[in-house]
Structure 1
């Protein structure tokens, strides 16, 4: 199914909700909650609808009771099932309800209703033969203040699966990070110490930030990005800002902390007289061991210029892994292109040509070229020769866009990256 949009329920959606209710009942399923209760919760509690071509194709309605959220109605039209809409609706409900301090989201499902697969994929667990499902909300009420102060958030659950291609990198991160962090008891059984801090390095635009967010999404831990440039303008200065930020982070039970372009605050020290930034580097070097002392947290630092980092910063004991994130190979480029080619022209575009022509392009380069081709095709259809008709982007549109897109990573940078892998990577 093409793009589905989610938004909050509006009173004008009532007729669509009634149609969904009737459709569920015509399939032989009697909803757990009465229609009056569902409509009341739509108006007073939490309700999210899914739209396809501006038509409502799904709805999720919930209410809060003490520290628990209850889903009172979840339905997707028969034509829209199998597209992951139910999972997206559930994730949207959780994002809206978590700030109320809820600790779990639960749903009672009639035995005849075929939603068990969607619920288990969305992280719910079947607690009994009554088909009672619940999902833990990862942030407790006492942590909400700290998380808001830090500008952190819980990311959608599907980011990991949305990364196109890059299978080697995903598998490495799944094995080294996600597995031991998600199940520390199993890791302990095998004598594995879950990682506490890692470095992702590689050329610009290769997806380091995306992978950091995907790990947080996969674990369903809060994601906090630290921006040194913002801290530098605070009253305590950058070093003091770092201390205060990590003291607040310590209040969270679980957290992924992300620092991008870490070379800005951890560059090689030296020179006379010492620069002001050397004090910041020293402060960061003291913060990392203290951060590593507590379980349930992971520091991810990313850099485009790993050779610029201070030698002491990368040593064993501070970072468990130093992982390269490089340019996508042919299989990954094919997956990335497929993500941006509209369904309407999927069978008409020569994907192999696009993959071959974009060798050396980063995921960000491919995204830019794909969107440029789509924009060019749209403008040609609307403003082109009369009678030309409406058409989607063609292979030529994409090839033209590729030719006009300058690759972010030069051959020289790519060569230096390979040298850095040999010299500095620890996987």
Structure 2
């Protein structure tokens, strides 16, 4: 379609019936490769709630300028003239900017600003209207993971948004992180890439391994990596409701279904999905049946991931683990030497680390979980602090012991401090439990 000559355009304030024209202009700019910085939804919202002017010819909207104010600064959220680029287009563009500026001047703004993509062709319009191009500026944005409508839903099910750094805070555990990245994170975060390779995004995954190996930490890290809300379901708490555990589970999952995205986590799932034993039915059999139904329904929803964790995978009901329910059954075991080194580095103070023989600690902590190593590191720190305080006591009038200023202990912690703490640390995972875990990997893991 040939554009109407811009020279005949009339510039006026936005009317509600101009909305279709605004949408067409936004799409036109997008099609020409000049993708607006602000989304169409934001532009439409500002048309109604903030300030907008249009250039029209007959019943056709040829151009628009839309602005909003924030903290004494005005922002042009959309500016486009759909004309042939001649002198008339320049004039119409200037008229739009002039009229928008006059409308917003009454707000007492100190500055009017605009963000454009590199491909935008509006720079000449703006510079001729007194806008100065600032170089060496970068625009960054981050979509919020939860919209206002979903916040109340999250509160209802005890969900929350986790910090984005949790993934990189998982010290070591390189193999496990790589497995989760490839199997879970990438197909869910980049579905278009997964589709190219024929990979279906996972809906449910089981993590199993000895206690203290970091299954909960990994579940939270996956949610953090995806930037999805994290909802932890506690069967023991749901069992306390008047409706009973099975009914409370269904209500919780129905609420989760209203969220756009969510990582749902059930720890110690063996409590509600243990092996059914026939007649007479066990107290948890009805709950297990309900959970199996919920899992089937959950798999029909996009943008959600169920992560279950168990210390005793061999006790789970066979129907619970069969193909079609869980996409993967992934082992989370004891940290290897590389992981133990990274865990020690995380818990040893930076100004102490260089003087510590970390190799000795790595060897001495073989067979310990991440939680065990954290305990040993914190115990060593506490014992070293107590020893230093006893070395430089200052008795006050009340008999209290304080350490201040030049009296503060200068001695740093040593490798011996950590080795001493390790000798007093009891391993969470026994040798027999470790053997059982290796057997479970061969028998039940699905990578």
The Cα shift of 1:275 comes to 1.6
1:227-242 alignment runs, 5 A limit:
227-242=234-249
What is the rounded CA distance, in whole Å, between the counterparts of 2:172 and 2:342 in structure 1?
5
Query: Counterpart of 1:344?
Result: 351
Aligned-residue offset at 1:347: 1.3
State which of 404, 408, 419 in structure 2 corresponds to 1:399: 419
* Counterparts in 2 of 1:391 and 1:129: CA distance versus 1, 3 Å: closer
**1:275-311 per-position Cα deviation (integer Å, ceiling 9, x unaligned):** 2210000000000010010110000000000001000
Q: State the partner residue of 2:145.
A: 138
Which string of whole-angstrom CA distances, capped at 9 and with x for unpartnered residues, describes residues 166-192 of structure 1?
000000000000000001122112211
Q: Deviations over 1:236-282 (max 9, x none)?
A: 10000000000000000100000000000000001431122100000
CA distance in 2, matches of 1:133, 1:313: 44
* Deviation, structure 1 residue 340: 0.7
Is residue 363 from structure 1 mapped to residue 383 from structure 2 by the alignment? no
CA RMSD of aligned residues (A): 2.3
Equivalent positions of 1:46-57 (< 5 A) are: none
CA contact (8 A) 1:374 1:392 kept: no
Alignment partner of 1:300 is 2:304: no
Matched residues in 1 for 2:246 and 2:179: separation? Answer: 33
Larger CA Rg, structure 1 vs 2: 2
Pair 1:290-2:297 in alignment: yes
| Separation of aligned partners in 2, 1:133 and 1:375 | 43
Residue 273 of structure 2 is aligned to residue 266 of structure 1: yes
Equivalent residue for 2:60?
A: none
TM-score normalised over the length of structure 1: 0.69
What are the within-5 Å matches in structure 2 for residues 364-379 of structure 1? Answer: 364-379=371-386
Deviations 1:378-419 (A, max 9, x none): 000001377994323211110010000000000000000000
Q: Report the Cα distance in structure 2 between the residues aligned to 1:400 and 1:346, rounded to whole angstroms.
A: 17
- Structure 1: how far apart are the matches of 2:190 and 2:181? 12
Of 333, 351, 355, 1:326 maps to 333
Match of 1:408 in 2: 428
The SS at the match of 1:198 is strand
* Partner deviation per Cα, 1:129-182 (whole Å, 9 max, x = no partner): 952221100101211111111110110000000111000000000000000000
Q: Distance in 2 between matches of 1:64 and 1:366?
A: 49
Quick check: 1:342–1:392 contact (8 Å CA) kept in 2?
A: no
Name the CA distance, whole Å, in 1 between partners of 2:386 and 2:71: 47
Contact 1:382 1:390 in 2 (8 A): no
Task: Name the structure 1 match of 2:259.
Answer: 252
Alignment of 1:160-179 (within 5 A): 160-179=167-186
2:188 aligned with 1:201? no
CA shift for structure 1 position 207 = 0.3
Matches of 2:446 and 2:71, distance apart in 1? 46
Matched position secondary structure for 2:326:
coil
Deviations 1:105-135 (A, max 9, x none): xx98xxxxxxxxxxxxxxxxxxx99522211
**TM-score normalised per structure 2:** 0.66
Q: Which residue of 1 aligns with 2:438?
A: 418
Q: Identify unmatched segments of 5+ residues in structure 1.
A: 1-62, 69-106, 109-127
Note the alpha carbon deviations across 1:80-101, whole angstroms, 9 max, x for none: xxxxxxxxxxxxxxxxxxxxxx
Task: Name the SS of the counterpart of 1:133 in structure 2.
Answer: coil
Give ranges in structure 2 of 5+ residues lacking alignment.
1-69, 76-113, 116-134, 394-406
Shift of 1:321: 0.1
Give the alignment partner of residue 225 of structure 1, picking from 232, 235, 249. 232
In the aligned structure 2, how far is the partner of 1:269 from the partner of 1:145? 36
Contact 1:377–1:391 at 8 Å: present in 2 too? no
Out of 184, 189, 200, the residue aligned to residue 191 of structure 2 is: 184
Look up the match of 2:162.
Answer: 155
Q: Secondary structure at the match of 2:412?
A: coil
Q: How big is the shift at 1:343? A: 1.5
Q: Which residue of 2 aligns with 1:95?
A: none
Equivalent residues, number: 308
State how far apart, in whole Å, the 2-side matches of 1:317 and 1:392 are. Answer: 55
Aligned 1:87-166 pairs, distance under 5 A: 131-166=138-173
Deviates more, 1:186-195 or 1:230-239: 186-195
Matched, 1:390 2:410: yes
